Amino acid sequence: MAKLVALALKDLRVLTADKGNVFWVFGFPLLFALLFGAVYAGAGKGPSGMKLAVVDEDQSEFSQLYVTHLESEEALKVSRVDREQALTQVRKGWIAAAVVLRPGFGDGFSGFFDANNPKLQIASDPGQKMQAAYLEGLLAKAQFEVMAKRFRDRQWMRGQMDTWRGEIQRASGPLGTDASVYLRFFDSMDKFLTDVNDQTYQGGLGNGVLNVAKLDVQQEYDGPRTPFQITFPQAILWAILGCVATFAISIVRERTTGTFQRLRIGPISQADILAGKGLACFLTCALVIGLLVAVGKLVFKVPIGSWAMFLLGAVCTCLCFVGLMMLVSTLGKTEQSVGGAGWAILMVLAMFGGAMMPLAFMPSWMRSISHISPIKWGILAMEGGIWRGFTLPEMLLPCGVLLAFGSVFFALGVLMLRRQ
């Protein structure tokens, strides 16, 4: 055992003596986790607000009040432009939609409810129906709240009723007998507005905002709580791939420089030499996992659902990739050939295994192929402990596949090494 430990420690010293190795094994995976974690985090938040261009052709006091109200809406990012600019921006896809306040928009209720000649126009892509409906809702809400403000202005209300009274008196025909009913209503209303005190009037109208009570209900969600829960297992796999490539090349280097032969003529069996290499690779993988998890936990607050399951997955992953390292080391007779062939194979495995892009984002045919990549099972096993909430029986599948892969790789590697 002392000889195995000596072999492993020697490999760790050789590994850390080369700054390039240290970067690929420790630095690059950390950068990967941080970069893609930040990318996914940004993607998860969604847009901060719908981009909306507003064209105020009315330029009335009311229309300006309305635009100001839209600008205060958190869900919208409003810009004031002219009609041509607005339509161009929508056409180019630079903004989600444009709203045009036609002349007459601020002319009291008629501006709002004129069905024959609408004073409010929305320009948006017909394909974006949900977006348009969302915008209509926001516009209606704004309309309601601006109107409510108007209702609080008794002078404006009385002026508005004078206008309507005049229109009714000038009207002929259809209104007929109903005209006197409307006029009586306006008279009563006018008297009410004259007599009522401010406090009663304001209180009766509430605060003029469409109040919706919000009940916070935490949705049951079994997915990752933070994007780092996805990117850290990926980063760990990248680190392990770095270890695999580094140690595979180190085995070839030992063969080309003669140190492997020197070890073989020492009082140590070939099995012990290979076990020592495997132990060194395993320890390095474990070390880098520990480092990444520590950074993830302490700096990025990555929650680990079950430490026991995570450790189980990590150990099985390390064992699997020790076997793969042994096989990769036999892919050539020089460091260059093993480095080239090794990384080529590892990159393909990484691509299909979900180390570059989460499997969830892949097309179904790629997800099918991913089963043959040990990287997929490594990520799954660690995710099982981090956020998937796997139980021990559920961990058996990924861990079993990893151990099976590892055993086959190791046996093939030793066989080919002996032949060489």
Partner 1 sequence: MAIIAVEKLCKRFGDVVAVDGVGFEVGRGEMFGLLGPNGAGKTTTIGILCGLVRPDSGTIRLDGKTDPTRPDVRASLGVVPQSLALYDELTAQANLEFFGRINGLAGRRLWDRVAACLDLAGLSQRRKDRVATFSGGMKRRLNLVCSLLHEPAILLLDEPTVGVDPQSRNLIFDTIEKLRSDGRTILYTTHYMEEAQRLCDRVAILDHGKMLVLDTVANLIAQHGGISHIEVGLDEAPGDPEELASRLGVGDLGLEGKTIRFQTREPAQALATLNQCGVRYKTLKVDTANLEDVFLNLTGRRLRD
Q: How far is the CB of 13 from partner 1 (least distance, A)?
A: 6
Q: Looking at beta carbons only, is 16 or 337 nearer to partner 1?
A: 16
Residue 20, interface with partner 1 (CB under 8 A)? no
Count of beta carbons in the 10 Å neighbourhood of residue 104: 17
Q: Looking at beta carbons only, is 258 or 363 nearer to partner 1?
A: 258
Phi-psi region of 305 (alpha: psi -120 to 50; beta: other; left: phi over 0): alpha
Residue 187, interface with partner 1 (CB under 8 A)? no
**Which region, judged by CB under 8 A, interacts with partner 1, from 70-78, 260-268, 298-306, 380-388?**
260-268
Q: How far is the CB of 287 from partner 1 (least distance, A)?
A: 18
Beta-bridge partner residues of 52: 78, 97
Q: Looking at beta carbons only, is 128 or 259 nearer to partner 1?
A: 259
Q: Looking at beta carbons only, is 269 or 334 nearer to partner 1?
A: 269
Q: Looking at beta carbons only, is 269 or 407 nearer to partner 1?
A: 269
Q: Looking at beta carbons only, is 200 or 257 nearer to partner 1?
A: 257
**Binders of partner 1: how many residues, by CB under 8 A?**
21
In this structure, what token pair is assigned to residue 331?
């892919």
For partner 1, the binding residue among 264, 333, 371, 418 (CB under 8 A) is 264
Q: Looking at beta carbons only, is 9 or 65 nearer to partner 1?
A: 9
* Residues of span 108-167 touching partner 1 by CB under 8 A: none
Q: How far is the CB of 285 from partner 1 (least distance, A)?
A: 20
Residue 263, interface with partner 1 (CB under 8 A)? yes
Site string for partner 1, 201-240 (x = CB under 8 A): ----------------------------------------
Q: How far is the CB of 249 from partner 1 (least distance, A)?
A: 13
For partner 1, the binding residue among 65, 268, 341, 356 (CB under 8 A) is 268
Q: Looking at beta carbons only, is 137 or 266 nearer to partner 1?
A: 266
For partner 1, the binding residue among 12, 14, 65, 397 (CB under 8 A) is 14
For partner 1, the binding residue among 129, 191, 262, 371 (CB under 8 A) is 262
For partner 1, the binding residue among 72, 207, 261, 368 (CB under 8 A) is 261
Residue 334, interface with partner 1 (CB under 8 A)? no
* Residues of span 22-61 touching partner 1 by CB under 8 A: none
Cα separation, 95 vs 138, in Å, equals 16
For partner 1, the binding residue among 6, 31, 35, 196 (CB under 8 A) is 6
Q: How far is the CB of 326 from partner 1 (least distance, A)?
A: 20
In this structure, what token pair is assigned to residue 375?
């990287």
SS3 for the chain is: CHHHHHHHHHHHHHHHHCHHHHHHHHHHHHHHHHHHHHHHHHHHHCCCCEEEEEEECCCCHHHHHHHHHHHCCCCEEEEECCHHHHHHHHHHCCCCEEEEECCCCCCHHHHHHCCCCCCEEEEECCCCHHHHHHHHHHHHHHHHHHHHHHHCCHHHHHHHHHHHHHHHHHCCCCCCCHHHHHHHHHHHHHHHHHHCCHHHHHHHHCCCCCCCCCCCCCCCCCCCCCCHHHHHHHHHHHHHHHHHHHHHHHHHHHHHHCHHHHHHCCCCCHHHHHHHHHHHHHHHHHHHHHHHHHHHHHCCCCCCCCHHHHHHHHHHHHHHHHHHHHHHCCCCCCHHHHHHHHHHHHHHHHHHHCCCCCHHHCCHHHHHHHHHCHHHHHHHHHHHHHCCCCCHHHHHHHHHHHHHHHHHHHHHHHHHHHHC
Q: How far is the CB of 340 from partner 1 (least distance, A)?
A: 22
**Which region, judged by CB under 8 A, interacts with partner 1, from 2-10, 108-116, 142-150, 155-163?**
2-10
Q: Are 324 and 407 in contact (CB under 8 A)?
A: no
Cα separation, 99 vs 82, in Å, equals 10
Bridge-based pairing of strands 76-80 and 50-56 is parallel
**Which region, judged by CB under 8 A, interacts with partner 1, from 8-16, 38-46, 180-188, 348-356?**
8-16
Which residues contact partner 1 by CB under 8 A? 2-3, 6-7, 10, 13-14, 17-18, 257-259, 261-269
